[in-house]
Amino acid sequence: MQKFRFLTAGESHGKALTAIIEGVPAGFSIDEDFINEELKRRQSGYGRGGRMKIETDRVEITSGVRFGKTLGSPITLVIKNKDFENWQKIMSVYAEDFTDEKSFTTCRPGHADMAGAVKYGHKDLRNILERSSARQTAIEVAVGAVAKLILKEFGIEGTSRVLQIGSAVNEADFQAEIDRAKEEGITLGGRFEVIFKNLPVGLGSFVHYDRKLDGKIAQMVMSIPAVKSVSIGDGEIAHKVSGREFHDEMFIENGKIVRKTNHAGGLEGGMTNGEDLVVRANMKPIPTMRSSLNTVDLSTLTETAAHFERSDTCAVEACAVIAEARIACALADEFLIKFGGDSLKEIKRNAH
């Protein structure tokens, strides 16, 4: 059963984003500054749009923590949307405030707009955009920061880096590639890598499809907005190399099993094998762009240009930070499943 669980709520221009995390044992130190640093990382990166200049995300912890330590009770995290000041009427929960200001009916290809409107029966596509927006990933990064603090107690740390932006594969060329796209009114995607180090052997399990950690990680990363493919280790080239080239041979050094390669990316049989966990993913280009694509107006069923609203040109760096957070949640969950207890003390005893 899942141990580290969370739900999030909140609209992009609503009052706040909220998360409730269930299953964090008592006694873990929660450093608000660390959570805020992670939020800042999500907001940075070259190529972001105007929204990131308005919001300086800061977390407020409203339950589950006392005097800096977790109590074992549900932890509530809140991030206020600063921009709500400008959207109070438009995003009001009250019927008497109804307005059609900022409503729109032209679907943006690559977004949830069309299918969401059909599914939920909405005429105003803002009712879809507000929740499908990647703004919700801010609160997920805050949740991921809590997961990281759990893992940190056991020396497990994660990092990420951008591998490619559009056709640029060298860091030195990323900014120029983004500048070029911005000038042309188009957008870019890219490729990134997340690595977690110092994982114990045996997180996850081979015994059932829904306990395999590769599957759980793929779900966590694939469901980040705009992520279109996820691979573990050298999974992207697995189809074109031989078994001799792909598999990581084992050797004994000082009485310990060691590997000289890590093509498997730290997972074999759905379990951590003690090597670094390596996850790579591809993000599609941002769908909203100045040079709008052809689309359909849902109210008139006529062809038109897609709606444009302030938007990022490229957000791969942020996406990598979100992936780190999501993977941290999956790993914290597995760690608590394997070594679980009600307090940090009990888990430390179990993990040794």
Ligand X SMILES: Cc1cc2nc3c(=O)[nH]c(=O)nc-3n(C[C@H](O)[C@H](O)[C@H](O)COP(=O)(O)O)c2cc1C
Q: Using CB under 6 A, list all residues that contact ligand X.
A: 49, 110-112, 132-134, 137, 224-226, 284, 286-288, 311-312, 315, 318-319, 322
Q: Which two tokens stand for residue 269?
A: 């049989």
Q: Which is nearer to ligand X, 137 or 164 (CB)?
A: 137
* 10 neighbors 18 (Cβ within 8 angstroms): yes
Least separation in angstroms between CB 226 and ligand X: 4
DSSP for 45-102, please give it: STT--THHHH----EEEEESEETTEE-SSPEEEEEE-GGGGGTTTTT-SSGGG---TT
End-to-end CA distance of the chain: 22
Least separation in angstroms between CB 66 and ligand X: 33
Least separation in angstroms between CB 306 and ligand X: 10
Least separation in angstroms between CB 135 and ligand X: 8
Residues 6+ apart with CB under 8 A from 269: 206, 212
Q: Which is nearer to ligand X, 111 or 263 (CB)?
A: 111
Least separation in angstroms between CB 39 and ligand X: 12
How far apart, in whole angstroms, are the C-alpha atoms of residue 96 and residue 297? Answer: 27
Q: Which is nearer to ligand X, 58 or 284 (CB)?
A: 284
Q: Which is nearer to ligand X, 274 or 287 (CB)?
A: 287
How far apart, in whole angstroms, are the C-alpha atoms of residue 32 and residue 309? Answer: 32
Q: Which is nearer to ligand X, 132 or 295 (CB)?
A: 132
* 299 neighbors 226 (Cβ within 8 angstroms): no
